[in-house]
A and B are shown apart, each in its own frame.
Chain A
Amino acid sequence: MSAIVSVNPAATQGIAALDDDVPRPRKLLAVAGLAWLGAAAAVLAWADTQEVARTDLLGTLAASLGGLLLLSWALGWIFPALARPGQWAPWLIVLATGLAAWETATAKLDLLPLPFFASPQAFLEVYTDDYPRLLDCLYHSVLLLAKGYLLGAAVGFVSGVALGWSTRIGYWVHPVLRLIGPLPATAWIPLAFFVFPTSASASVFLIALATWFPTTVLTWSGVASVQTAYYDVARTLGASQRFLVLKVAIPAALPHVFVGLFMGLGSSFAVLVVAEMLGVKSGLGWYLQWSQGWAAYANMYADLFIMALMCSTLITLLFRLRDHLLAWQKGMVQW
């Protein structure tokens, strides 16, 4: 008997959890709150060696977070929903420790060489002082990406369906696709900036091109791999060609299409950054280049962080769209 229990401790834990009628807040949540308060104390009480601003703001933010975590732990005894951040407690503790270590190595003890290693305060200062320019860059990046991606995805989808459906179109488009498609979109940069009237239109073209290839190939393979039995069934029931394309081929190919759209989004990010470094006057890629020119590394890191948030958000949105459209599928990858 004891052997069985020790082999499967999770099962016994599950039973214990069922006995508790109210789940208690995790102790680690309180520890996380204290860790952030500790980090705040280190920031505020310890004199800076480097010449930095925003020490007070950084300390206040860390202290507020610590306070909030402690509060949610305390109130979690009464309202269990408030203790939900408890699942992130291990992460929060590691982050507080990381912040304290970073602060110590830079602002407090000046152990790491400037300007490559900016202090947390300097990082924060970028957002408080340069946010109008960063917002403007974010806006222009999103706009450029949206134009290029939507254009590339739309053309890619249509050409993929056409390739998969019509042998005549396939005859003409397939060789072009095979030869031109695998070429990285960035290889077209010199030509694109020369051919297009503005660098903005060249950038849209390059992003669209990067999105187009994977979307086309995957849509095509999706349409081509639809079971013929689906067509047999629909034809027997009186379906027209139009119905077979729109209501059979496309829905059946949609899981493939989304793989293509994800791949396209990934390569469109890469082209966006490169295109912005070369040809535009505002954008997160341009900001990277610009801040590097001033040796403003804190600005660069701040920009990278925004870029990461942007890309991650866009991928998340695409996942949401897929989950919505492909709700009929089971066992999908979670993001």
Chain B
Amino acid sequence: MVSAALDLASEAAGATLDVQGVSHRFVLHNEILPVLHDITLRAEPGSFVALLGASGCGKSTLLRLCAGLDRPRRGRLQMDGEEITRPHPSRVIMFQDPTLFPWRTVWDNAALGLEARGELRHGRGRVDEVLSLVGLDNFRRAYPHQLSGGMAQRVSLARALVNDPRLLLLDEPLGKLDSLTRLTMQGELTRLWQQRGFTVLMVTHDVEEALLMAQRVIVFSERPARIRADLRVELPYPRRRDDPELLRLRHEALGLLGLEAIW
């Protein structure tokens, strides 16, 4: 019997995500609100792609479409060549709010996916392991209201990781954390991705965060969102905030967002 940690790492291979010509719109108060316009992008297995854009430009909508929570008006989304039509535990989404179930303990929240699919009996050890991976060993029996923002978001991460996702969809997961916790968790998320090899698609409006964590940064225009640029960040991890190449890319990205004057 190999140790459980090795099991987890080997099972979680990254998926390919294909977004082909996706457009989407909402109807709000009898008005049509286009949010995505002809988006095409491809995330290679095990890659880390950041979607960068102003608030409300439609990045989160794209993430919901990738998760299978909504269907696009036009275009196709595929994971490993298979059409995404509904949610599936192999692609887990993590929101800006931890959205933990307040009536469940930390352990029970992390075990949610296994319980929902009736796999809890064989997966108890996995829940324990993932909780210690995110550093919450001593809080298994705590309730969400007893946790800090960073701890709650770690539980949310553990809840996702328990399912061995092959595609992790992060919707501004660090957006509501205080700046110190945020820096710590940027490092932790990057390390986890390197260890486990899943594909990551992360929505953020923090330029520096995108450049520190991702291999590719896709810059979106204002709503309806189009792809404005696809920046490659070919820097080794762990990255330094004051790396000249990163500063250059930061300048470029801010320029693409129409904010070059600030720099």
Chain A residues within an 8 Å CB radius of B103: 251-252, 254, 326, 328
Are B116 and A240 closer than 8 Å at their CB atoms?
yes
Give the chain B neighbours of A24 by CB distance below 8 A.
none
Write the nearest CB–CB distance from B201 to chain A, whole angstroms.
14
Contact A237 B95 (CB under 8 A): no
Q: Which residues of A contact B68 (CB under 8 A)?
A: 236
Question: Given A236-B67, A236-B93, A237-B92: A227 and B116 within 8 A (CB)?
Answer: no
Q: For residue B29, which residues in chain A have a CB less than 8 angstroms away from its CB?
A: none
Interface residues of A in 232-255 (CB under 8 A from B): 232-240, 243, 247-248, 251-252, 254
- Complex CA gap A127/B65 in Å reads 72
Interface on chain A toward B: helix, strand, loop, or mixed SS?
A: helix
Q: Is the CB of B101 within 8 A of A238?
A: no
Given A230-B101, A234-B112, A254-B103, the answer on whether A330 and B69 have CB atoms closer than 8 Å is no
Select from chain B the residue with minimum beta-carbon distance to A234: B116
Give B132-173 interface residues, CB cut-off 8 Å to A: 143-145, 159, 163
B99 within 8 Å of A by Cβ? yes
Q: Which residue of A235, A254, A329 contacts B69 across the interface (Cβ within 8 Å)?
A: A235
Give Cα distance in the complex from A290 to B143, angstroms.
53
Say whether A4 faces chain B, with CB atoms less than 8 Å apart: no
Our pick among A233, A240, A329 for the contact of B99 (Cβ within 8 Å) is A233
The verdict on A229 contacting chain B, using a C-beta distance below 8 Å, is yes
> In the complex, how many angstroms separate the beta carbon of B3 from the nearest chain A beta carbon?
25
B212 to chain A, nearest CB (A): 26
User: When each residue 78-105 of chain B gets 1 if its CB lies under 8 Å from chain A and 0 otherwise, what string results?
Assistant: 0000000001110111010101011110
* B194 to A: closest C-beta gap in Å: 24
Shortest distance in angstroms between A257's beta carbon and chain B's nearest beta carbon? Answer: 12
Q: Is B45 at the interface (CB under 8 A from chain A)?
A: no
Docked-complex contact A237 and B116, CB < 8 angstroms: yes
- Is B116 a contact of A330 with CB atoms below 8 Å? no
The reply on B7 being an interface residue by CB < 8 A is no
Query: For residue B143, which residues in chain A have a CB less than 8 angstroms away from its CB?
Result: 328
B113 within 8 A of A: yes
Which of B92, B102, B104 has a CB less than 8 Å from the CB of A236? B92
The answer to whether A229 and B95 have CB atoms under 8 Å apart is: yes
Residues of B within 8 Å of A233, CB to CB, are 93, 95, 99, 112, 159
Contact B116 A229 (CB under 8 A): no
A243 nearest CB neighbor, chain B only:
B116
Q: How far is the CA of A235 from the CA of B117 in the complex (A)?
A: 10
Q: Number of residues in A with C-beta < 8 Å to the partner?
A: 22
- Do B97 and A236 touch across chains, with their CB atoms under 8 A apart? no
Q: With an 8 A cutoff between CB atoms, is B245 at the interface?
A: no
- A residues within 8 A CB of B91? 236
Give CA–CA (A232, B91) in the complex, Å.
13
Closest to A242 in B: B116
CB distance from B196 to the nearest CB of A (A): 17
A316 CA to B113 CA, complexed, in Å: 37
A residues 183-219 near B (Cβ < 8 Å) are: none
Do the beta carbons of A328 and B145 come within 8 Å of each other? yes
Cβ-defined contact, A236 with B101, below 8 A:
no
Given the complex, which residues of B lie within 8 Å of A329, measured CB to CB?
A: 102
Interface residues of A in 6-54 (CB under 8 A from B): none
Docked Cα-Cα span, A229 to B102, in Å, equals 13
Known: A237-B163, A238-B116. A248 touches B93 (CB 8 A): no
Q: Contacts A230-B101, A251-B101; is A239 near B116 (CB within 8 Å)?
A: yes
Q: Residues of B contacting A254 with CB < 8 Å?
A: 103
In the bound complex, CA of A135 to CA of B195 (Å): 71
Set of chain B residues within 8 Å of A326, measured between Cβ atoms = 103
B115 within 8 A of partner (CB): yes
Contacts of A240 in B (CB 8 A): 116
Q: Let me know if A236 and B89 touch, CB within 8 A.
A: yes
On whether the beta carbons of B99 and A227 are closer than 8 Å, the reply is yes
CB distance from B90 to the nearest CB of A (A): 9
Tell me, in angstroms, the Cα distance from A230 to B144 when the chains sit together. Answer: 14
B116 touching A247, Cβ below 8 Å: yes
Those 4 A-B pairs whose CB atoms lie nearest each other, nearest first: A237-B113, A239-B116, A238-B89, A236-B87
Knowing that A229-B99, A326-B103 are A-B contacts, what are 14 other residue pairs whose CB atoms are under 8 Å apart, sorted by A's residue number?
Answer: A230-B99, A232-B99, A234-B116, A236-B67, A236-B69, A236-B87, A237-B92, A237-B112, A237-B117, A237-B159, A238-B89, A238-B117, A247-B115, A252-B103
Sampled A-B contacts (5; CB under 8 Å): A227-B99, A229-B95, A232-B87, A233-B93, A243-B115
List residues of B whose CB falls within 8 A of some A CB: 67-69, 87-89, 91-93, 95, 97, 99, 101-104, 112-113, 115-117, 143-145, 159, 163
